[in-house]
Amino acid sequence: MRTRVAIIGAGPAGLLLSQLLHVEGIDCMVLEQRDRAHVEGRIRAGVLEQATADLLERVGADSRLRAHGLRHDGFDLVVDGEMFRIGLRDLTGAGVVVYGQTEVVRDLIEAGLQRGTPLLFDAQGVRLHDIDGSAPFVTFEHDGGEQTLACDFIAGCDGFHGVSRAGLSPELGSAFERVYPCGWLGILAEAPPCHDELIYSNHERGFALASMRSRTRSRYYVQCALDDRLEDWSDERLWNELAVRLGGRAAEAMTRAPAIEKSIAPLRSFVFEPMRHGRLFLAGDAAHIVPPTGAKGLNLAASDVRYLAEGLIRFYRRGEAEGLEAYSRKALARVWKAERFSWWFTGLTHRFPDMDPFARRLQAAELDYLRSSRAAQTTLAENYVGLPL
């Protein structure tokens, strides 16, 4: 088998890249280790920057997003029970779209299948070969046999635990990491949201977030201990904790319902530099991870593949390699700004076990400043809606 761009992974990064290339007539093939049901069933991100929504429109995968996406012009912060709003559109002229990553993945898979983009599920044992040469290739098992896919370039879109970055010798790159002393316990419930916008809460018992997937489906998170297990958190305990941490009107408006999904995710900041290694380009979680507080993970995956697609299109259309040579530098410039924002917003909204009284006073002062300063709120808002590409 042969293609121009072999894409490893059918998450948002790999799927969006495949469609950005396909609509420009550039051959590619997506190799995904899991089956379609698993990929479409993963519950993850919920907030799209407008730039991400625009990319979905560019590849013709936005009809359900336009019909069901919830346009949000602000969100609320609750600090020790007191709520104040960050008016995103008033402060920046832009908002965000609340639309589950699950739906984004479904829309991109559907667009690819309708166009006939080669997308192989259940591709096991993917291995990358000769990424430093002029004829890289990928081997994998599929349909009971060993397959070889020859290509010009490989896009490693296989997430944090994928093989693309793992296959690189450590001395070829630099990893930067911060692991937080807590995780997020997330719940999905068929229950109307408790508020018409998202609520981020800094409470003495820990962080909580009230989000949503639709007007009838809610998504909530509470900060939990690193060693917490799902069996430690009954639905009742979780709903009670959410009511305490979100407090006031949110607690009164909250509709409790059985969890249809419950999961714990660790909080981590991670960047691997550079994002290019010969004919291999890393994109999305394969290259970086942000704590979900700033809702940047999915949106960074989208901006990475936008830059990568621009470089590949320029190479195949005009034979110019400058876009590919600039990819890592351009992507990392945006990644590090999102890492900084996500780290800052996590520190502002969470109570960490090792936070001493001085740190807590600084946090309280920063929240008080944010509440009272349009300039401070504008800084938060322009990072949240997404910095210019």
Catalytic machinery residues: 72, 200, 292, 296, 384
Angstrom distance (rounded) from CA 141 to CA 121: 11
Angstrom distance (rounded) from CA 143 to CA 386: 42
Would you say 31 or 168 has its CB closer to ligand FAS?
31
CB 86 within 8 A of CB 112: no
The residue type at 293: T
Would you say 111 or 210 has its CB closer to ligand PHB?
210
Q: Does 250 bind ligand PHB (CB under 6 A)?
A: no
∠ Cα 356 362 366 (to 5°)? 145
Q: Which of 13, 295, 302, 331 binds ligand PHB (CB under 6 A)?
A: 295
Residues 174-233 that bind ligand PHB (CB under 6 A): 198, 209, 211, 219
157 binds, options ligand FAS, ligand PHB, none, Cβ within 5 to 8 A by partner type = ligand FAS
DSSP sequence for 68-82: HPEEES-EEEEETTE
Angstrom distance (rounded) from CA 99 to CA 373: 30
Q: By CB under 6 A, which span of 21-29, 57-65, 73-81, 156-164 interacts with ligand FAS?
A: 156-164
Q: Does 47 bind ligand PHB (CB under 6 A)?
A: yes
Q: Does 45 bind ligand PHB (CB under 6 A)?
A: yes
Residues 94-153 that bind ligand FAS (CB under 6 A): 101, 123, 126
Q: Is 168 helix (H, G, I), strand (E, B) or coil?
A: coil
386 binds, options ligand FAS, ligand PHB, none, Cβ within 5 to 8 A by partner type = none
Q: How far is the CB of 287 from ligand FAS (least distance, A)?
A: 8
First-residue to last-residue Cα distance in the chain: 35
Q: How far is CA 54 from CA 20, 58, 63, 97, in A?
A: 12, 6, 12, 11
Instruction: Give Cα 377 to chain centroid, integer Å.
Output: 23
Would you say 263 or 378 has its CB closer to ligand FAS?
263
Judged by the rule CB under 6 A, the positions of this chain that interact with ligand PHB are 45-47, 198, 209, 211, 219, 292-293, 295
